[in-house]
Structures are given as structure tokens and as C-alpha cells.
Amino acid sequence: MPDAPTTSSTHRALPLADAPAASLGERSAIPLVHAAVAIAWLLVAGQLLSAAAGDLAAARWGAPRVVAATHALTLGWLLTIAVGVLHQIAPAAMGVAPRSTRLWIALLPLLSLGAAGVVLGAWQGGGRWSQFGWAVVLVSVLGYAWVLLGPDRATPAGRGVARRVAMAFAALLAGMLLAALRLRWTGSPDLTALRTGHIALGLGGFGTLLSIGVGLHLLPGFFGARHVSVRTGHAAFRLVATGVGATALAAMAATDAAWWWEPLRRSGVALAGLGAVCFGVQVAQWTWARRNARLDPTQGGVILAASALSAAGVIAIVGALRGQAAAPILTAWGTLMLPGWLVLFVASVLVRIIPLQAWMERFSTAGAGSDRPRVRVADLALPGVARAVVLSLATGVLAIVAGAGLHSVPLARSGALSVVAVGLLLASYLAHALWRHRAPRGAL
């Protein structure tokens, strides 16, 4: 496959010289399909957040509407994007190919069905829809893990990435187990601790471990800083993994008889927070050593997302030292972690990947004598829209945090509507990449 062409106007368009096609694997429409489904989920999540504006302003982070919106973002947006990107980068990053592309495609509607069940059940406060949804999500996650992961499937060079991805999936499965234990536990556990463990495994375990693990492979190229050491990033991954594991273990042992669970929980939260700060330092190192003086939307979005992660890490460390945190602080932490870190990070990477994936799928075989138009990757990008995605989401996160702190419903709702706006912007961005410079009929 030919290298993705670059553009000489790196200030007007997304610079692509440092995102070689070799980092993203061969051409495939699967990531674009997953991106379309995930964007639809982002629009749903924004609407749910808007409906939950009153709960957000009152810092009722455990309210059914907030929980429904949270799972629309985690299962609908984050998990869908994650499996789509993993299908694409696994051959290049891990040295493995999915066992079955057909099964991978078939698992997408199953995952969406399960996520819909979980979201509907959460909106209704639990019940059969939640049980059905979690069961279907569990089947789909096990299917994805079997197709992608397995003993001795990764090459020696790719085993580090494979190990980090496997740990992220293990955290996701453990989070599902913890949710089931919360319903079936017979030892009168502290339900707040169990919920904390579930959140830690979902946001800190799966979301953060996967983002850091894959980010250590992709981001040096995106910043043009492959020469920079990633030791700080690896340390961040280990700290977050250790902290999340300790927090989850403490949650499962949260009974009156287990006196040691509270010190273990606080230690785990502090370690995970320290890991979050360390990854912010790693991103700062990439930023300082970047090749281009002017930031492109992906770089700016990753910097803002890492800043949100670091801020959430500081809140976690302070909360662990103090032993407790007020509801507005917990709501601020959740907002920084989910839309501020995970949604913004994924959206920032997505605006870089979409044009390249669309070009690979539509024009990578165009050559001399081809009836396809000669199109650059930069021609399929919309830098202005990409910047609007990053700025709108960052502004929305600040509005939700301010709304929770000031008990302002209008502020919280404006932040939620920013998520809807980001979904619409990403939808237009994807449509532009897929349909601009249409090839002649029969050529695709």
C-alpha cells in the first residue's frame, strides 16, 4: 500500500506526515462503520445529559438519568470506537490479525443492542432491561476478546501493546463482574464502595488503560516526537493499573468485617491519580518536542484531554488523603474523567484517523491510468470543524463542572448541549470524508 500523501500546508490542514499509514494498518471500512455508530451514540448521550441537567446541577451523580448518559458514553461511544480502532491497528501495533472479520462485524449490532438495553434499564432505575443489556454486552466483549486476543498471538515487538489491551479488557470484564456482585452479594457490602469500584474499573481501568496503552503507540507519531522517551507513559500505565486493581479489590471486600478495605481503597485511588498526572507529564513532553510549532486539532485536543485527566488525578489524590469528597467534587471528577478525558481524547484522535481511513478506503489504489481522482488525505479533512469539535467539547466540560459547583441548571444543560453539537460536527466531518471527491460510478 502506498504511503499516505502529505500536504505542504500543514498550518491550514491536519499535518499527516507524522501519522504514517503503517501505524494504522491496511485499508478497511470497519473503523469508519464503528465511527458512525459511535457518533450516533454520542448524540444520544448528549440528549440524555441534557435531560439530566437538573441532576448534574444538583450533583446527583448516581441519579438514573446521569447513569444512563454515562453508559451511553462508555458502552456506546467509547467501547464502539475502541473495538473499531483495535481492528485496524492490531496488525501493525500487535502483529496479529483478527481471527474472523465476519464475526467482528457481526458483534457490532450485538454490542449496540446490549448498550441500548443497559442505557434503557439505567434510565428506568434498573430491572430486566439492565440485566438483558449487560448479558448481551458481556457476550459481545467476550467475542471481541476471543477474536483479537489470545496466548502467543502477538509478535515479540507487539506484545507490550497486546498486554496493555488485554489488561484493559480484563478491567472491563471485572467491572461487569463487580456490577453483578453488587446485586448478589450476601455480606451486606458498602454499596457506595462497590459503585466506586465499578466506576474505577470502567473509567480508570478500561477507558484510561486502553487510551494510554494505545496512545503510547499512536501519539508519538501524531506529535512528531518519536524520539521522546515514553518511560513516563509506561509508568503512568502501571500506576493506574495498580491503583484501579487495589480500588476494585477494596470494593469487593467492603464489609464491616474487613477493616483494611478503606486504607486499600484510598491507596488505590491515590496511585491511580498519580498515574493520571504522570500521563499528563508524558503528553507535555511530546508537546514540548513536537515537530510543528503550531498545534493541529488532534494535538490540541489530546493536550486538553490529558489536562482534564491530570486535574481528575489531582482531585483523586486530594480525596484519598482527605478520605471523602463532597458530591459536587465527585461530579466534577466524573465530568473531567468521562467527557473531559475519554470523550475528548477519542474525538481528537478520531478527527485525525477519519480522513486517513477514508482516503485509504476510497483512493489508496488510485494510480497512473486509474479513473479515480487524485486526492490527498488533507482534501478529506476539515480543520475548522476539527477545531470546533475540540473547543466545543472542552467548553461543555467546563460548563458542566461549573453547573455542578454553582448548582446552575442552565450551565449544566449548555454543557450537555455542547456534547450534542460535537456529535453533529463529527457526523458532518465523517460525511465530508466519505463523500467529497466522489469517484466515478463503478470505480469504488
Residue 46: band (very low, low, confident or very high) from pLDDT cuts 50, 70, 90? very high
Q: How confident is the model at residue 285 (pLDDT cuts 50, 70, 90)?
A: very high
Coil, helix or strand at residue 364: coil
pLDDT tens digits for 233-279?
999 999 999 999 998 888 777 655 566 778 888 899 999 999 999 99
Query: Residue 398 pLDDT > 90, yes or no?
Result: yes
pLDDT tens for residues 157-176?
Answer: 788 888 899 899 999 998 88
Would you state the pLDDT for residue 4?
40
CATH class of domain segment(s) 22-362+375-435? mainly alpha
Q: What is the mean pLDDT of the chain?
A: 84
Q: In terms of Cα–Cα distance, which of 134, 127, 128, 142 is closest to 113?
A: 134
Average pLDDT over residues 308-329: 88
Residue 148 vs residue 189, higher pLDDT: 148
pLDDT single digits (tens) 111-148:
999 999 999 999 987 778 888 998 999 999 999 988 88
3-state DSSP of 174-198:
HHHHHHHHHHHCCCCCCHHHHHHHH
- Residues 6+ positions from 117 with CB-CB distance below 8 Å: 129, 130, 132, 133, 134, 136, 137
Break the chain into its structural domains and give their ranges: 22-362+375-435
Instruction: Give the model's confidence band at 184: pLDDT under 50 very low, under 70 low, under 90 confident, else very high.
Output: low
Cα–Cα nearest to 66, from 125, 8, 7? 125
Distance CA 299, CA 352 (A): 10
How many residues are present in the chain? Answer: 444
